[in-house]
Chain A
Amino acid sequence: MIARWAVASLFFACLIGLWQLAVNAQIWSPLLLPSPANVLVYLWSSVEDGTLWEATLVTVRRLLIGYGLGILVGLPLGLLTASFRWSQDTIGVLALGLQTLPSVCWVPLALLWFGQTESAMLFVVVMGTLWSLIIATDTGVRTIPPIYSRAARSMGSSGFHTWTHVILPAALPFLLSGMKQGWAFAWRSLMAAEIYVTILTGFGLGHLLHYGRELSAMDQVIGVMLVIVMIGLAVDKTLFAPVERFLHRRWGTARG
């Protein structure tokens, strides 16, 4: 464990070292390539004056609410498409089609429908999450060996009990990968939307990034990018990694 930490720390220290070397070599203007120290100074000052916290809060809130809504709607719809042919032929086909649509493509529509508001952002995030989650749930439920529900039925399980105690847990590995994919899509579409357009109800990280470009403040651009990466990592480590560890331990699949 300690060895793994050491390797990881060493690797990132080397990356920062290379960055610093590139800056020292003065191949590019400092305007285009600020030093690690400059970026750190930006991050520090923006934490101090509150802009970074505020933007992070706005973005993460949009993401969590939109993602939560996507799961709340997508999970039951996925169960539905896996259970009935009519819903597979309708909702299933719709989900399959819309999943291929890059979620950024929802941004123009969302802006026209909802204006430059919070709702537009939520809509984009939900659209990014929903379809891939429906498809993952559907695939997961279909892949369950039928013997599980037969065994459960033989023991007297039926209806809702079978769904909650057999089908959903059996589909968990697929649900998790669907939720991860949904998360990635939601994150990407929200960033695109925030960079693309100013939302009057709150400045997110995407806006900070956008203004960094407008002001040619490269330290801000890189600093905000780092924050976005950190949030992604943190979510993966706190939200998904524990579930994945549980899956590996229980199912006995290879360690990821």
Chain B
Amino acid sequence: MQNVTPAIDAVPTKLVLEHVSKWFRTSSLHVQALDDVTLHIAEGEFVCLVGPSGCGKSTLLNLIAGLDRPDGGTVQADGQPINGPGPHRLMMFQEAALFPWLTVLGNVLFGLKLVKGLSAPERREKAEYFLELVGLKRFMHSNVHELSGGMRQRVALARSLAPNPSVLLMDEPFGALDALTREQLYGDIQRIWSQHRKTIVFVTHNVREAVCLGDRVILFSPNPGRIREEFSIPLPRSRDINSVDLARYSTEITRVLKGYVQNEVAG
């Protein structure tokens, strides 16, 4: 078992998960959400976690975010064990978790106010910059309910980017959006990623989406959640979700995914 950098040498490893396991206990249930998961993610890498629901991929994200702790194994960021949430690893959720009591600008400022050492004008400047980046600066004084679903996720993206985290954790952020809006956001997120070079861990159950966005696609299987297979996606950026090359990858991955989901059901 080597414990240093995986595939991409020379790039420092950002996140290291070693033999991570996690159980959930309720009065009626005792579920192993993650079983012996080992995963290394390089700095600036875009990694997509794919799998059917209940395979523990969101749990993994919560562990990296520091919102939850593993029952076994270690989770490290920059060589340090993760002891709780921090502004370096920000989470973006599926439903727009925007705060309805704040305006668009207020929402983006919320995270910035928790960053130490920023003056009010600096915060304001950053908030406006990131709203501009997602194309919503002219809506900064709007109320959250006045925005469409896609716009809300854009604001959520701006809110997550504003405190300048080095790791962005995205839990099916586009799951609730229509196809057209999603495609626009694929473009946006790739553009922003290439400009700002964040490490992104992206959870989805949509294989095509994973292939479109990820440098690597990691396949999970449920009960208990385990890593089954890993695919490198060496396609050039920026990728179009409708391209034929991309379809070839996603067909292959879907085939593998179906294979073990069926085995699961049969066995």
Q: Would A151 and B91 count as touching, CB distance under 8 A? A: yes
Q: Would B100 and A156 count as touching, CB distance under 8 A? A: no
Interface positions of B from 136 to 164, Cβ below 8 Å from A: 143-146, 159, 163
The tally of residues in B whose CB lies under 8 Å from a CB in A reads 27
Q: Would A151 and B101 count as touching, CB distance under 8 A? A: no
Q: Would B143 and A249 count as touching, CB distance under 8 A? A: yes
The tally of residues in A whose CB lies under 8 Å from a CB in B reads 22
Q: Which residues of B lie under 8 Å from residue A250 when comparing CB positions?
A: 100-103, 143-145
CB distance from B99 to the nearest CB of A (A): 6
State in angstroms the CA–CA spacing of A78 and B135 once bound together.
41
Q: Which of B87, B93, B143, B159 touches A156 (beta carbons < 8 Å)?
A: B87
B86 interface hit (Cβ, 8 Å):
yes
State in angstroms the CA–CA spacing of A250 and B99 once bound together.
10
Known: A154-B91, A249-B143. A148 touches B114 (CB 8 A): no
Q: Would B99 and A252 count as touching, CB distance under 8 A? A: no
CB distance from B19 to the nearest CB of A (A): 25
B97 interface hit (Cβ, 8 Å):
yes
Q: Would A153 and B99 count as touching, CB distance under 8 A? A: no
State in angstroms the CA–CA spacing of A147 and B89 once bound together.
17
A interface footprint on B85-108 (CB within 8 Å = 1, 0 otherwise): 111011101010101111100000
B65 interface hit (Cβ, 8 Å):
yes
Q: Which residues of B lie under 8 Å from residue A157 when comparing CB positions?
A: 110, 114
State in angstroms the CA–CA spacing of A12 and B144 once bound together.
39
Which applies to chain A's interface (DSSP): helix, strand, loop or mixed? helix
A60 interface hit (Cβ, 8 Å):
no
Q: Would A152 and B145 count as touching, CB distance under 8 A? A: no
Known: A155-B90, A156-B86. A147 touches B95 (CB 8 A): yes
Known: A154-B65, A165-B110. A252 touches B87 (CB 8 A): no
CB distance from B96 to the nearest CB of A (A): 9
CB distance from A177 to the nearest CB of B (A): 16
A251 interface hit (Cβ, 8 Å):
yes
Q: Which residues of A lie under 8 Å from residue B146 when comparing CB positions?
A: 252
Known: A150-B67, A150-B93. A156 touches B111 (CB 8 A): yes
Known: A166-B99, A251-B145. A151 touches B93 (CB 8 A): yes
Q: Which residue of B lies closest to A152 (CB)?
A: B110
A80 interface hit (Cβ, 8 Å):
no
Interface positions of A from 154 to 206, Cβ below 8 Å from B: 154-158, 161, 165-166, 169-170, 172
Q: Would A170 and B99 count as touching, CB distance under 8 A? A: yes
Interface residues of B (CB under 8 A from A): 65, 67, 85-87, 89-91, 93, 95, 97, 99-103, 110-111, 114-115, 143-146, 159, 163, 169
Shortest 3 CB-CB contacts between residues of A and residues of B = A252-B145, A151-B97, A154-B91
Extra contacts, 13 of them, besides A147-B97, A156-B85, A251-B143 (Cβ < 8 A), are: A147-B93, A147-B95, A148-B99, A150-B93, A150-B97, A151-B97, A154-B91, A155-B90, A156-B115, A166-B99, A170-B99, A250-B101, A252-B100
Q: List 8 A-B contacts (CB under 8 A).
A: A145-B95, A151-B97, A154-B91, A155-B87, A158-B85, A169-B99, A250-B100, A252-B144
